[in-house]
Homo-oligomer: A and B are copies of this chain.
């Protein structure tokens, strides 16, 4: 057992952990970052495909207009970005019928459209009233946390098409089924990411901008000044704390420090044995933020051939398992087409052999855009539930009833343990920007607490 001492221990080398490290580094503090995997990035993972040499983000990939913290990194490191393609006709596919339309609202029948519009307006109005710091303090918090979005949608949209649109929108944003989250969690998340429109949109929304060299590349720029502080391949298995110090133990090393930042999702914090039991609410909270299930399926083509036919690359469909697609092409002229497979569909789809998954993907793209889709240069898909140290993606979602009962424990410092991770963010929770916010907050916590 290799034993050493530092001042601050950061667990997790994703955006949250690195953001915390950046602050500590700028403040001239001693720290280490301990990471379970053989790489940095966490739920951010950029790979280069073998045939096309294309850079693909199989994890988080987009940034949007009001994500100021990550934009600050973009400007500082001068990394190249590209706007997501958002012109041409979108497709809405429902019960075998394909509707082509422009803009974010499909040309469905007027009744469905009004119904959808009313439901979305209701959501926005409710979301506006949420305080993202304390969603549990809302006068209706208990009621809203006691009803699942599945129930709310059934109760508040009369038409099947509006229900489908809302369910697919939710599935795409949360990577889970509408029965898994409460109205209150949904509203918190909408407000945390500005509003529902921003969560769903490309232009002016969360899917606006891509990294030419990938989101992991930006992180690698950020860690340059302190990359010697990162210890890879060491999952932290237990944490001990007393009134003087904290000790993190992995299989091979034991690190003693003053304070520790857990830059992990709540579900992954569950893997750690806390030698001094956590406060009861915190311990129970960690059991109640399960990860979504997201799968990304990419086809890389010689060119974005769908654009020639005036398609945007954006599809919303009720066909299983491919519900939502985007054009993720960058600047090299190649076409990069992305289908998301989410929630229960992701869990089914990943069980198929890779060649079958690829074939289904190609057939599906061809169905909408023609046979050029059948000849990609590369295909890759990634299911995040496979990763022992992510347990799912994109984010952990509070279970119904949990915001009201446990919300106050989400960020509360417990002795020498500080809680980061995008799930603890108030702005853009669930996104890279939220992860950075959480890292900054915890770094400030440890600095303040160590001063006194």
Q: CB-CB contacts of A313-344 with B at 8 A, as 1s and 0s? A: 00000000000000000000000000000011
Picked from B150, B278, B388, the residue with its CB within 8 Å of the CB of A401 is B150
| Contact B177–A401 (Cβ < 8 Å) | yes
Residues in B whose Cβ lies below 8 Å from that of A272: 271
Residue of B nearest to A403 (CB): B179
Q: A residues 369-405 with Cβ under 8 Å of B?
A: 383, 385-388, 391-392, 399-402, 404-405
Picked from B150, B284, B401, the residue with its CB within 8 Å of the CB of A392 is B284
Q: CB-CB contacts of A127-159 with B at 8 A, as 1s and 0s? A: 000000000000000100111101100100000
Picked from B150, B251, B273, B347, the residue with its CB within 8 Å of the CB of A284 is B347
| Contact A148–B270 (Cβ < 8 Å) | no
> Does A17 interact with chain B (Cβ within 8 Å)?
no
Stoichiometry, copies per complex: 2
Among A251, A283, A386, A387, chain B packs the most CB atoms within 10 A around the CB of A283
Picked from B273, B275, B400, the residue with its CB within 8 Å of the CB of A400 is B400
| Contact A290–B280 (Cβ < 8 Å) | no
Residue of B nearest to A145 (CB): B179
| Contact B151–A151 (Cβ < 8 Å) | yes
Picked from B146, B290, B293, the residue with its CB within 8 Å of the CB of A150 is B146
| Contact B267–A402 (Cβ < 8 Å) | no
Residue of B nearest to A178 (CB): B146
Q: A residues 239-291 with Cβ under 8 Å of B?
A: 249, 251, 267, 270-275, 277-278, 280-281, 283-284, 287-291
A176 CB, nearest partner CB in chain B, Å: 8
| Bound CA–CA A344/B141 (angstroms) | 15
| Bound CA–CA A399/B401 (angstroms) | 10
Q: CB-CB contacts of A394-419 with B at 8 A, as 1s and 0s? A: 00000111101100000000000000
> Does A235 interact with chain B (Cβ within 8 Å)?
yes
Residues in B whose Cβ lies below 8 Å from that of A177: 401, 405
Residue of B nearest to A295 (CB): B280
Known: A177-B401, A280-B385. A287 touches B291 (CB 8 A): yes
| Contact B399–A288 (Cβ < 8 Å) | yes
> Does A302 interact with chain B (Cβ within 8 Å)?
no
Interface size on A, residues (CB 8 A): 56
| Bound CA–CA A385/B287 (angstroms) | 11
Residues in B whose Cβ lies below 8 Å from that of A281: 347, 385
Residues in B whose Cβ lies below 8 Å from that of A273: 235, 237, 271, 388
Residues in B whose Cβ lies below 8 Å from that of A289: 287
Residues in B whose Cβ lies below 8 Å from that of A81: none
| Contact A391–B347 (Cβ < 8 Å) | no
Residues in B whose Cβ lies below 8 Å from that of A126: none
Residues in B whose Cβ lies below 8 Å from that of A274: 388
Residues in B whose Cβ lies below 8 Å from that of A179: 142, 145-146, 182, 400-401, 404
Residues in B whose Cβ lies below 8 Å from that of A182: 148, 179
| Bound CA–CA A287/B287 (angstroms) | 6
Residues in B whose Cβ lies below 8 Å from that of A148: 146-148, 151, 182, 400-401
Picked from B147, B278, B284, B400, the residue with its CB within 8 Å of the CB of A293 is B284
Picked from B235, B237, B251, B383, the residue with its CB within 8 Å of the CB of A280 is B383
| Bound CA–CA A344/B406 (angstroms) | 9
A246 CB, nearest partner CB in chain B, Å: 16
| Bound CA–CA A180/B235 (angstroms) | 31
> Does A99 interact with chain B (Cβ within 8 Å)?
no
Picked from B151, B180, B350, B385, the residue with its CB within 8 Å of the CB of A147 is B151
A407 CB, nearest partner CB in chain B, Å: 12
Known: A146-B150, A267-B270, A273-B388. A180 touches B399 (CB 8 A): yes
> Does A221 interact with chain B (Cβ within 8 Å)?
no
| Bound CA–CA A243/B77 (angstroms) | 47
A240 CB, nearest partner CB in chain B, Å: 11
The 3 closest A-B pairs by CB, nearest first: A179-B401, A280-B385, A146-B179
Q: 10 A-B contacts, Cβ less than 8 Å apart?
A: A146-B154, A179-B182, A179-B404, A180-B399, A180-B400, A277-B388, A278-B388, A283-B388, A284-B291, A288-B399
